[in-house]
Amino acid sequence: MFSKETYIQRRRQLKERVGSGLLLFLGNDHAPMNYADNTYSFRQDSTFLYYFGLDHDGLAAVIDVDGDREIIFGNDPTIDDIVWMGTQPPLSEKAERVGISETLPLSRLAGFVKGKQVHYLPPYRGEHQVKLQELLGIAPAAQAAGASIPFIRAVVDMRNHKTAEEIAEIEQAVDISVEMHLAMMRMVRPGIHEAEVRAAVTAIAQRGGGDISFPVIATTHGQTLHNHGYIHTAQAGDMFLLDAGAEVASHYCGDLSSTYPVSGTFDERQRVIFDICLNAHRTAVAALAPGVPFRDVHLKACTAIAEGMKSIGLMKGDVDEAVQAGAHAMFFPCGLGHMMGLDVHDMENLGEVWVGYDGQPKSTLFGIKSLRLARPLEPGFVFTIEPGIYFIPELIDRWRAEGRFTDFLCYDAIDKFRDFGGLRNEEDYLITPDGCRRLGTKYKPMTPDEMAAAASLE
Ligand code: GLY
Ligand code: MN
């Protein structure tokens, strides 16, 4: 938690930006796994954390902009709560730590908002939908459309611009994330199970008091972009893809990816593809600066990948035309990066079109439709750079059967890579007033030689 002045200042800015009305914030409740008292580890709503700091269940808050009131709604612990969960201060004392002097029991919330014009954010949990229906009488199916655009835009604009104290937290998360990746490089060898790597890197994320920032991807089948299975044993000749990050106790996130050769060195074909991906990564980083649309950075990385694929005979024709048409998406069917902060995909619940597109429409073209960030970059933006190259047999077969992009894709040559798998490398960046900075005081090895050197250190 930051000092109370941070939260007071954030709420003051939010009131100025939205201008009038009643702003409703729903905190998260515990989410049961299989019965009510057996819950997933608690995760507070990130916008609630950003403005109200309190990191436990059973809370809501209202800012009455016109009446200049800020109220946290919640219940004081009962004797049963204390018996099962331990001593806890009263809500008023907790609220005071974030500069809030007015608290009310949760039962008062419905009466407080009744009949008023309420700004609310899009719900992403069933419990929020139930509460919005009870509080505001809006059916779940209509809730997303009724969410307040001025409220969303104000929150997005504030949270998109990270302050120095937020960046310090993110850098701690990135440093722990680097440790997770170094551990992977040291432990991966033929015979290791994906589940062992997942367990080891999760432990590193958790031992500092935080957790993982999203379900770990630890796989020898890197061609599946979000592979959450941990069922394989690594074999000599495989590549091991780790996409994993830590979330520190304050809930700021890191997100890194590495692809490591299980035998210790890449074979010739793997090395060629790895170098094309690394070149795309460096091309993207070299383009980062305030004012540059991230869409252009993404397209530069796509072009670098397409040029690399052409150089080894997997693509042909005019590279710029191929990228414009979307042919490179055979190998890179996703986006180059996403905003990162209190959420690993920051504020995705508020809508990518606001967070990453500033309200501009997204493309529907396969590949670039999955780009989460496209807007011109501004100082304070924190995001990932994560190009990858993937050979997805079903996609190869589908496009070939459909005759897609035959001017640009060399299907016979591509087919020889159908068992290749996939690889990705990822780092986290901050836009500064005059350029960019890689986040983290620790460095995640990026080249094969750097990875080999890191793997040999105990
Ligand atoms: N690191 C997982 C993702 O960015 O989707
Ligand atoms: Mn990522």
What does the block give as tokens for 261? Answer: 């050769």
Instruction: State the virtual CA torsion across 332, 356, 59, 34 in degrees, nearest 10.
Output: -20
Query: To the nearest whole percent, how much of the chain has pLDDT over 70?
Result: 100
What is the per-residue pLDDT for 205?
Answer: 98
- Residue spans of beta strands (DSSP E) within 302-426: 382-385, 388-390, 422-424
User: What does the alpha-carbon distance between residue 203 and residue 225 come to, in Å, rounded to a whole number?
Assistant: 23
Contacts of 252 (CB under 8 A, 6+ apart): 166, 169, 170, 172, 173, 341, 342
User: What does the alpha-carbon distance between residue 423 and residue 239 come to, in Å, rounded to a whole number?
Assistant: 8
The label of the residue with tokens 């905190």 reads 27
The label of the residue with tokens 């994560």 reads 386
Pocket of ligand 1 (CB under 6 A): 214, 243, 255, 338
Taking only the tens place, the pLDDT of each residue in 74-101 is 999 999 999 998 999 999 999 999 999 9
> Which residues on neighbouring strands pair with residue 376, listed in sequence order?
293
What is the per-residue pLDDT for 199?
Answer: 98
What is the rounded average pLDDT of the residues 433-458? Answer: 95
Ligand 1 atom at minimal distance to the Cα of residue 384: 4
- Smallest CA separation from ligand 1 atom 2, residue: 243
Q: 426: CA distance to ligand 2 center in Å?
A: 7
User: What does the alpha-carbon distance between residue 211 and residue 155 come to, in Å, rounded to a whole number?
Assistant: 25
Q: Are 294 and 368 in contact (CB under 8 A)?
A: no
Ligand 1 atom at minimal distance to the Cα of residue 244: 1
What is the rounded average pLDDT of the residues 230-236? Answer: 97
Taking only the tens place, the pLDDT of each residue in 150-193 is 999 999 999 999 999 999 999 999 999 999 999 999 999 999 99
Taking only the tens place, the pLDDT of each residue in 196-223 is 999 999 999 999 899 999 999 999 999 9
**Residue to probe by mutation, ligand 1, list 198, 214, 340, most atoms within 8 Å of CB:** 214
What is the per-residue pLDDT for 208?
Answer: 82
The ligand that comes nearest to the alpha carbon of residue 386 is 2
Please determine, for residue 458, whether its predicted confidence score (pLDDT) is greater than 70. no
Taking only the tens place, the pLDDT of each residue in 41-81 is 999 999 999 999 999 999 999 999 999 999 999 999 999 99
User: Taking every pair of C-alpha atoms in the chain, what is the biggest distance, in angstroms?
Assistant: 73
The label of the residue with tokens 């331990």 reads 86
Ligand 1 atom at minimal distance to the Cα of residue 245: 1
- Which residues have CB atoms below 5 A from the ion given as ligand 2? 255, 384
The ligand that comes nearest to the alpha carbon of residue 427 is 2
Q: 384: CA distance to ligand 1 center in Å?
A: 9
Ligand 1 atom at minimal distance to the Cα of residue 345: 4
- Residue 214 carries which DSSP code? S
What is the rounded average pLDDT of the residues 113-125? Answer: 96
Contacts of 118 (CB under 8 A, 6+ apart): 21, 22, 23, 24, 135, 136
Q: 247: CA distance to ligand 2 center in Å?
A: 13
Please determine, for residue 457, whether its predicted confidence score (pLDDT) is greater than 80. no
Closest listed residue to residue 158, CA positions, set 6, 29, 334: 6
Q: 111: CA distance to ligand 1 center in Å?
A: 41
Q: 76: CA distance to ligand 1 center in Å?
A: 38
Contacts of 49 (CB under 8 A, 6+ apart): 55, 251, 342
What is the rounded average pLDDT of the residues 400-412? Answer: 98
The continuous run of DSSP H or E covering 211 comes out as strand 211-212
On the CB side of 372, how many CA atoms lie within 13 Å of its CA? 20
What is the per-residue pLDDT for 376?
Answer: 98
Q: For the range 295-303, what are the long-range contacts, defined as Cβ-Cβ under 8 Å and sequence gap of 24 or more?
A: 295/368, 295/371, 295/374, 295/375, 297/336, 297/377, 298/335, 298/336, 298/337, 298/368, 298/371, 298/374, 299/323, 301/332, 301/336, 301/387, 302/328, 302/332, 302/336, 302/367, 303/328
What is the per-residue pLDDT for 414?
Answer: 98
The dihedral built from the CA positions of residue 262, 190, 203 and 231, taken in this order, carries a sign that is positive
What is the rounded average pLDDT of the residues 339-361? Answer: 98
Q: 389: CA distance to ligand 1 center in Å?
A: 15
What is the rounded average pLDDT of the residues 432-444? Answer: 98
